[in-house]
Amino acid sequence: MFVLELTYTAPLERVDAVLPEHVEWLQKEYAAGHFIAAGRKVPRDGGVILAAGTDRATVERIVAEDPFTVAGVCEYRITEFVATTTAPALEQYREQLPS
């Protein structure tokens, strides 16, 4: 599983200009089964996405396709972790530690 942390590198006016395309991209990645949650940070200086069911190379490709990345309005920090415990509703995402 991955935590994708976005930090805006441009004024909110530029971010908002690309927001409709970013939302379409999010919906595409939800439909593909890559994302399980996303939202704005508070204060609004970026966002967070939880991604699952894929490898780091795929996540890096997905992030590179984000309209925010293409427009140069954010930077990503990608953190991989092993979700060994989850809420019952997220049990399908539970992972085992590598041996």
Encode pLDDT of 80-99 as tens digits. Answer: 999 999 999 999 898 888 87
pTM comes to 0.93
Mean pLDDT of 49-65: 95
Where does 11-73 show beta strands of DSSP type E? Answer: 35-40, 46-51
Strand order in the sheet with 46-51: 35-40, 46-51, 2-8, 74-80
Give residue-wise pLDDT tens across range 20-35. Answer: 999 999 999 999 999 9
